[in-house]
Amino acid sequence: MKERMAPCCVDSSADWRPLNAAQRWARLIVGVALLSLALALPSSAWIALAIVAGWLGATHVLAAAMAYPGCPELGTAPSLLLGRWVKISCSPWRWLDARFRLTAQ
C-alpha cells in the first residue's frame, strides 16, 4: 500500500534533526537553480514568477546554510528571525531525500 503524503505544514517533530551534508548540498543546488531562474526571467512580463522563484531559491539556500530540516519555504525565515527552529515538516523533501538516498542510515 502506498504511503500517503502529509501536507507541508504539519509539525511532526519526531524525526527532527539537522540536515546532513548530502541533504544540505541538495537544498543548495535547488536554491541556486531557483535563484538563477528568477534572475533569468524578463523583469516585466514574468515578475510574479520571478518573485516566487526568488523566494523559493533564497529560502532553500538559507535552509542549506542553517541545516534546517523542515519546510524551507515556510520555516527558515521565521527560524532565522526568532533565533530558534520553527518546526514545520516537509513531506516533499522527506520523499526526495529517501528517493535519492540522502538520509543517513
Tell me the per-residue pLDDT of 24-33, one tens digit each, with 9 for 90 and over.
Answer: 999 999 999 9
Q: Which domain holds residue 53?
A: 18-99
Q: What is the pLDDT of residue 50?
A: 93
Residue 104 lies in a domain: no
Residue 5 lies inside a defined structural domain of this protein: no
Q: Shortest CA distance to 16 belongs to which of 71, 87, 84, 73? A: 87
DSSP-derived secondary structure letter, 15: G
Q: Quick check: is 55 in a domain? A: yes
CA angle 70, 72, 77 (to 5 degrees): 105
- Cα-based angle 19, 32, 89 (whole degrees, multiple of 5): 35
> Would residue 94 count as lying in a domain?
yes
Domain membership of residue 43 (yes or no) is yes
In a domain, 2, yes or no: no
Sign of the torsion formed by the C-alpha atoms of 84, 18, 11 and 30:
positive
Give how many domains the chain has, as a whole number: 1
- pLDDT 10s digits, 40-65: 988 777 899 999 999 999 999 999 99
Which residue, chain included where needed, has cell 520555516? 75
Rounded to whole angstroms, the Cα distance separating 55 from 35 reads: 8
d(CA 76, CA 64) in angstroms, rounded, equals 10
How far does Cα 88 stand from its chain's mean position? Answer: 11
Residue 105 maps to a domain: no
The answer to whether residue 31 sits within a structural domain is yes
